[in-house]
Chains A and B, each alone.
Chain A
Amino acid sequence: MIEVAGLSKTFRVPQKEEGFAASLRSIWDRRYTDVEAVRGISFRIEPGERVGFLGPNGAGKTTTLKMLAGLLHPTAGQVRVLGHVPQARSPELLSRITLVMGQKQQLLWDLPPRETFALNRALYNVPEAEYRRTLDDLVDLLQLAPLLDRPVRNLSLGERMKCELAAALIHRPEVLFLDEPTIGLDVAMQQQVRAFILACNQRFNATILLTSHYMQDIQAITPRLLLIDQGSLCYDGSLDALARRVAPERRLIVRAADPALIPLLLPLGFAPEGADRGADRLVCTVPAGEANARIARLLQAAPMAEFEVESPPLEEVIRRVFQKNDQEKT
């Protein structure tokens, strides 16, 4: 389905110093530096999988996605998508994949979205009946009906994003590369788009590789994670396994509404969380394996205590992975 082996991409970037003299010198003496955006990454994605591709800004996520979609030629390594070499850009492969880039539009700016959909129908040679069916599905899933006949320039960012998604899916691609599909959208719109992406996977068994800075996207959509940092892959596996490996602790939180409880809890390792959260919140961080025993002791000491158990948030888990990666490299 998607096979990547030793994939690398190096960009040659012009360097220019500040000032008039530097501008003048750059006419005959252009300087370049090589930037290694992606460094020998390998992975494999099976049909129908949903995979999240995470990394800090400039980590190489979008560059990788562009190589997978055939937009960029790799400097080294091999890629195969649906059995094709993407950079050959064969019409057969292009008819079976799509790349949605959050900030880049394929919509015709001064025409209603309906015209872009019709253009894509023609370009992808989608039979009329199938086009009608797909468009009806997309209009229904993304609630596009009121937008179809308004010029794109008059749509809001969120409305345009929904139309971008629809335009990218008119030909029912088997592989969806989604680069920050929820960027800039409000919470309600983000939820709609997430639900839509999941529906695409479930209804058409579409394979999904998604980059996002929103952890909610990853939690809602992609059970498998690829983490990339400074061009190298530093994790490939499930979200749960990552959390277990990197952040194996639990936070026990007790709301001590009765101040008399506080002296009972302090010997168990609980401490007030912080002045800003209220002195009645007591927190104890324990290894995941010891959480049950600590809860038993808590209930023994204060049977009426109300408590909750928290895992570290995904943002924290990811932050720790990249921090560890940085430390190892330095």
Chain B
Amino acid sequence: MNLLRAFPAMMRIGFAEAVAYRAEMVVWVLATTLPLVMLGLWNAAAEGGPVGGYDQIAFTRYFVVILVVRHLTSVWLVWEVNWMIRTGSLSPWLLRPVSFLWWNLAQTLGGWPLRVLVILPLIAGIALWRPEIAWAPGPVALLAGAVSVLLALAAQYLVQCIFGALSFFLDQSVGLYNAWFAVWALLSGYALPVSLLPGWAQTLAVWLPFRATLGAPVSILLGEAPILPTLLFQAAWIAALALLARLTWEAGVRRYGAFGA
């Protein structure tokens, strides 16, 4: 109950922080442009004709939606937690009755308006370049897509919470997260549509959690996946990740050395 009452104030202050760090945030957001790079590559590959069922318009539409969902679901928790554990600056948060993880989530959501402001001109530019990409998902797909984006954010957040908590045990866990990211970029749909992967990789993508953090909402919004099973797939992975995140975080806090404080 206390958390529910506190959350709006936390988000407001998170927004104030995002505004204070606006220059850094704009750079971060603009740096997350891999989908645009991939769009350029696949656009060139599809010049002679469709690749795996995707023509130039389909690729453009796909990567624009990937870009938007990625910006709404990107989280920096793993870097933050690594830094806070090593410097001891996590200590003041462990003394408060609301977890740092909730505060970081509030900061992430508080930063949304600024992220949207930064990516809107990008989207507008692409829409001017390729107006044919316009499509209109139905109201159900739109609503389910919005829910799926929130679930993807939760899944992504929990994954980073697990990797962040590993730094209680290791000196640094950012390297491990980077290894995860390399696999994630392929199996989540970030670098290319999952349907273009070899069969065995597609099977992995169907069962592993990568798609729950990005590909799932994109598929729903583009009408490429059935809504209910996709949302259930995300929800099941969130439950598993939440359990693992809780266990890792709690075990980690027990080992916390509060160094530097």
Contact = CB atoms under 8 A, between A and B. Distances in A.
B16 A111 contact: yes
A73 B254 contact: yes
A118 B13 contact: yes
Contacts of B9: 118-119, 121-122
Contacts of A104: 88-89, 91-92, 260-261
Contacts of A66: 91, 258, 261
A99 interface: yes
A71 B5 contact: no
Nearest to B94: A71
A115 B16 contact: yes
Interface stretch (B61-69, B95-103, B212-220, B227-235): B95-103
A330 B6 CA distance: 55
A21 to B, nearest CB: 20
Contact of B91 (A73, A101, A108, A119): A101
Nearest to A124: B97
A95 B13 CA distance: 21
A125 B2 contact: yes
A253 to B, nearest CB: 44
Interface residues of B, number: 28
A11 to B, nearest CB: 7
A115 B6 CA distance: 14
Contact of B92 (A106, A125, A151): A106
B17 interface: yes
B6 A69 contact: no
B154 interface: no
B147 to A, nearest CB: 27
B20 interface: yes
A212 interface: no
Interface in A138-158: 151
B258 A110 contact: no
A323 interface: no
A95 B17 contact: no
Interface string A264-281: 000000000000000000
A125 B7 CA distance: 11
A71 B258 contact: yes
Q: Chain B at the A interface: mostly helix, strand, loop or mixed?
A: helix
Nearest to B92: A106
Interface string A65-84: 01001111100000000000
B79 interface: no
A89 interface: yes
A123 B96 contact: yes
Nearest to B7: A122
Give the most central of A95, A115, A121: most B CB within 10 Å: A115
A111 B20 contact: yes
B16 A71 contact: no
B256 A71 contact: yes
Nearest to A110: B20
Contacts of A125: 2, 5-6, 97
A72 B95 contact: no
A11 B5 contact: no
Nearest to B95: A99
B257 interface: yes
B151 interface: no
Contacts of A99: 91, 95
Nearest to A71: B258
A247 to B, nearest CB: 34
B10 interface: yes
B1 to A, nearest CB: 9
Given A94-B97, A95-B97, A101-B261, A122 B256 contact: no
A98 interface: yes
Contacts of A115: 13, 16
Given A97-B95, A106-B93, 10 more contacts: A66-B261, A73-B254, A91-B97, A95-B97, A101-B261, A104-B89, A110-B21, A111-B13, A118-B13, A122-B10
12 contacts: A11-B257, A66-B261, A94-B96, A95-B97, A97-B95, A99-B91, A101-B91, A103-B261, A104-B91, A104-B92, A120-B96, A125-B5
Interface of A: 11, 66, 69-73, 87, 89, 91-92, 94-95, 97-99, 101, 103-106, 108, 110-111, 115, 118-125, 151
